Amino acid sequence: MQNAQTASHKEKLQMLWWLKSGQVTQHQELSQRLGRNGSTISRWLQKYRVDGLSALLERKVSPGKPWTITGAMLSELEAKLQQPEGFKSYGAIQQ
C-alpha cells in the first residue's frame, strides 16, 4: 500500500485488504470506514471482480480544455515573473 500512486489507489487497496483479511464483510462497513458512498464501494468491487486489480487502479484522465496560451506567451510570462517588480495586478497579467 505504500507504493500506491494516489489516495484513491490507497483507499481501493485498503478496501481489498480488509475484505481479503476478513476484517470487513459488509459493504456498509467498508463505506463507513472509507467515508465513501455505498454505490462507490459497489462500483469498485464490481470493477475488481470483472476486470481485475489493474483495471481497478487505472487512472482516468479527463481531456479538459486545451491550453489557450502559446509557448511564446508562456516564456514571456515566466520571464516577467522572474523580475523583482512582477505584476501590479491580475489585469496586468492578462495584457
Element (H, E) at 8: helix 7-20
| CA pair distance 42, 13, nearest whole angstrom | 14
Q: How far is CA 83 from the centre of its chain?
A: 34
Answer whether residue 76 shows pLDDT above 80: yes
Q: Per-residue pLDDT tens for 4-22?
A: 678 889 999 999 999 999 9
In a domain? residue 88: no
Answer whether residue 56 shows pLDDT above 60: yes
Domain that holds residue 23: 7-56
In a domain? residue 83: no
Say what the pLDDT of residue 24 is. Answer: 94
| CA pair distance 55, 15, nearest whole angstrom | 15
In a domain? residue 47: yes
| CA pair distance 93, 17, nearest whole angstrom | 49
Residue bearing the bigger pLDDT, 3 or 85:
85
In a domain? residue 46: yes
In a domain? residue 95: no
In a domain? residue 14: yes
What predicted TM-score, i.e. pTM, was given to this entire model? 0.61
Count of domains observed in the chain: 1
In a domain? residue 35: yes
In a domain? residue 90: no
